[in-house]
Structure 1
Amino acid sequence: MGDQGKELRLIAMAKSGWVWLHEKTGLPWWSTLVAGAVVIRAATFPLCLYGQYHADKLSSLAPELERIRAYVSRSSGTTVQKIRTFRRLRQELLKRSSSSSLKVVPYGKLVHIPLFITAAASVRRLAFQRYPGFESEGISWFKDLAAPDPWYILPIVNSAILIANTENSLKANEKPSLNSSKRSLGDLANSLRDPQIVDWMKIILQGMTILVFPLISHLPSGVVFFWTVNSLLNALQQTLLIGKGKRYVGLYNRTELLAQSKGLADSLFHDINTSVEDARLQLSRIQKFVMEYSKEPVRMFQEFLLNERRSKRLSLPLSAEIRKDETTGKDYVAIVMASPDEEDSSSKA
């Protein structure tokens, strides 16, 4: 009962918003519904723009991710080690490109859908209550916004736009240029770009649109008109975000994004090789020291490590200890990775 009360209060607030907009603007009700749909779409558009920008950016990293995959596959190690290495390098690549899977979450849709449902429910409430002006401030053949469309034109137009929007949205996702990112990114959104899955989704979504047509045709004209305007605005938004209108809203096309991300993998490989070479130099100096100093090796080695750290030529947390060879029984100096406590104590010394 409490949840229902909250829902009713929410719809009542939305209804009050419609009345306020109608009275403040002095527009007829059909124009008020158009204005309300524009306001809702405009309020959520920045979130949609943000998500689309990062979705395009993440998709453009597919070639670089494939290069990392090839690099890891050629490296030595077990399969588990290679998987861990690839994941670590992938995260580093995403970090360097300022990308993240969380940034491509469709926040705009997640916000817009409940707003649209609430607004449509409040329009339906206005129609059922026969709010003043609702029966006469329609337009053309649907003057009465509280009654269903007598010619079924609005339901037909709305269904056609919904089907077209579904077609365009899924078509954008099945572009071959995006398929390579499916396996690399491994997330659900990209797996849905598989052509067979896209075809099934198209059939299901368009079939649902046809099945709900009888329900739409019996709704008040005001509700269907508001829904139709929202569908038209959604089509315009798709054109701006995933169509030829990208440039007008500040989005880069795929060629530009590929050019921006090109070379990120090379930069990553260079840093890896530099780190490996630096580690080799550090170990080479250590080996040379061990060969030159055979007396009191542990003490001499610890002094050497301390000097190397002070001169900032050593960053590896190494230490030395005497161990006994199980086969020969002879003692030898073992170079080991020091624990954090040992490293702290040695640095204080």
Structure 2
Amino acid sequence: MFRSAILRAGKVSPRTIVQPQLFGTQRVAWTGFSSIRFNSSDSSAVSDAAAGAASKVSEIQTQLPSFDENTIETVSQVGQVIGDASNQIGYLSSIGMAKSWLWPPDLIQNVMEQIHFYAGLPWWATICVTTVLARVLLFPLYVKYSDTLGRTSKIKPEMDKVNADLMACSDTTKAQQIAMKRRKLLSENGIKNRYLIVPVVQIPIAISFFTSIREMCLYPVDGLATQGIAWFQNLTLADPYLGLQCLTAAMFVALARKGGESGAQQFSPQMKKVFTYLPILTIPVTMNLSAGVVLYLAVNGVCSMIQTLLLRNQTARKFLNIAEVVNHPAPENQGPQKGVFESFRENIQKAKDQAEKRAMMKEQDDKMKDLAKKEKENQRIKIVRKK
């Protein structure tokens, strides 16, 4: 009431103020009070001032650009620039990744970037292709590993006897003779123990894949959030249905049942139980990992299973010249099979006894060397008699 009374009395100069909204095109006009004049003015002057203010406001409205259109255009241009840059070689290096071709995680990131750019594959397919490529490069080593296990299975009874004699021996000279016999037995059957470390070689490769893909998902690299497949469209987030985790666990359980990645390993029933339940425990452990990381684990498990089935096939083994696995019957005096923990304790005790015997043999060997040295020095002493 006070405001309307003042305006009717002509004692206020009206001012129209326009407040543009930042994220909309609507402009709100409202009437404010610039000053209260106590001198009586003509109503025509007030109307002229209001008309001038309205014309200035309309002129400002026509001159101001549309903030929303410019913002949308700018954001779209920035997004297009980032998208174009992410599809070029060197994008990962520009954001602090893939700095070297020598460090394994950086090497894998460089290879994935090359495949993603030149093959034009989405990121989920890039991860799969890179994983398969790594398994193909490792396949010849697994062929040698499976062949070594097959050749070793043929001479298992002789090797067990030689190893038992070597463990029970306490004489240095006799132990050397047994070791020479063992070395000759391996050489005659074409067995090279260096291929037995092939499964260990895959461990740093798996760690490098895990580290590189996890770093890319945590950044995240442009495209990983939209270039997924099936139920995991966003590779930077965890699998919402745990499908990849269950697939990985199933592959490793089947892998243990089929004799490992070489297809020739012979696990005891107790070890098979351990390898059956252990992969199931990995499901809650990996449930919060990015889908890109678990995708690598699942594809790696599928490749391992395919490799196992191939190396167990008789036709494939003959074509690749892999020795057949010979299953020898268990000795009659072996007794019932021992449990996992009992076997573990027995192996630790055997290793401890062997270490003590080796220390004793080394001590005896040092004593023999000292005696031989003293005898050699005594031979140089000449007894001189005075005439």
TM-score bin, normalised by smaller chain: 0.5 to 0.7
- Equivalent residue for 2:285? 215
Answer whether contact 2:111 2:130 (CA < 8 A) is retained: no
Structure 1 residues 13 and 97, CA gap change in structure 2 (3 angstroms): closer
1:23 lines up with 2:117 in the alignment: yes
TM-score (norm 1): 0.54
Structure 2 matches for 1:139-288, cutoff 5 A?
A: 139-169=229-259, 172-174=264-266, 195=268, 198-199=269-270, 201-244=271-314, 245-254=316-325
Question: How far apart are the structure 2 equivalents of 1:210 and 1:149?
Answer: 16
Question: How far apart are the structure 2 equivalents of 1:87 and 1:134?
Answer: 56
Structure 1 residues 128 and 88, CA gap change in structure 2 (3 angstroms): closer
Answer whether contact 1:15 1:122 (CA < 8 A) is retained: yes
Answer whether contact 2:149 2:265 (CA < 8 A) is retained: no
In the TM superposition, residue 91 of structure 1 has moved relative to its aligned partner by 2.9
Question: How far apart are the structure 1 equivalents of 2:228 and 2:203?
Answer: 25
- Equivalent residue for 2:366? none
In the TM superposition, residue 134 of structure 1 has moved relative to its aligned partner by 0.9
Answer whether contact 1:147 1:220 (CA < 8 A) is retained: yes
In the TM superposition, residue 84 of structure 1 has moved relative to its aligned partner by 6.8
Answer whether contact 1:41 1:112 (CA < 8 A) is retained: no
Partner amino acid for 1:24? Y
Structure 1 residues 79 and 110, CA gap change in structure 2 (3 angstroms): closer
Answer whether contact 2:122 2:227 (CA < 8 A) is retained: yes
Which is greater in Rg? Answer: 2
C-alpha RMSD of matched pairs (Å):
3.5
- Equivalent residue for 1:103? 194
Question: How far apart are the structure 1 equivalents of 2:222 and 2:175?
Answer: 66
1:58 lines up with 2:158 in the alignment: no
Question: How far apart are the structure 2 equivalents of 1:240 and 1:250?
Answer: 13
In the TM superposition, residue 13 of structure 1 has moved relative to its aligned partner by 3.9
Partner amino acid for 2:215? R
Answer whether contact 2:146 2:264 (CA < 8 A) is retained: no
Higher relative contact order (CA 8 A, sep 6+): 1
Answer whether contact 1:159 1:213 (CA < 8 A) is retained: yes
- Equivalent residue for 1:120? 210
Answer whether contact 2:115 2:126 (CA < 8 A) is retained: yes
Answer whether contact 1:40 1:116 (CA < 8 A) is retained: no
In the TM superposition, residue 67 of structure 1 has moved relative to its aligned partner by 10
1:36 lines up with 2:127 in the alignment: no
In the TM superposition, residue 37 of structure 1 has moved relative to its aligned partner by 0.6
Partner amino acid for 1:122? S
Answer whether contact 1:239 1:246 (CA < 8 A) is retained: no
In the TM superposition, residue 231 of structure 1 has moved relative to its aligned partner by 0.4
Question: How far apart are the structure 1 equivalents of 2:241 and 2:162?
Answer: 59
Structure 1 residues 97 and 172, CA gap change in structure 2 (3 angstroms): closer
In the TM superposition, residue 25 of structure 1 has moved relative to its aligned partner by 1.3
Structure 1 residues 202 and 97, CA gap change in structure 2 (3 angstroms): closer
User: Structure 2: which 5+ residue stretches go unaligned?
Assistant: 1-98, 329-387
- Equivalent residue for 1:277? none
Structure 1 residues 155 and 21, CA gap change in structure 2 (3 angstroms): same
Partner amino acid for 2:317? K
* Cα shift readout 1:190-235 (whole Å, capped 9, x = no counterpart): xxx5x3xx51x33334333222211212111111111101001011
Answer whether contact 1:159 1:209 (CA < 8 A) is retained: yes
- Equivalent residue for 1:181? none
SS in 2 for 1:125: helix
SS in 2 for 1:209: helix
> Alignment partner for residue 49 of structure 1, among 131, 135, 143?
143
SS in 1 for 2:139: helix
Question: How far apart are the structure 2 equivalents of 1:202 and 1:252?
Answer: 24
Structure 1 residues 253 and 95, CA gap change in structure 2 (3 angstroms): closer
1:131 lines up with 2:221 in the alignment: yes
Question: How far apart are the structure 1 equivalents of 2:131 and 2:226?
Answer: 20
Q: Percent identity?
A: 23
Aligned residues: 221
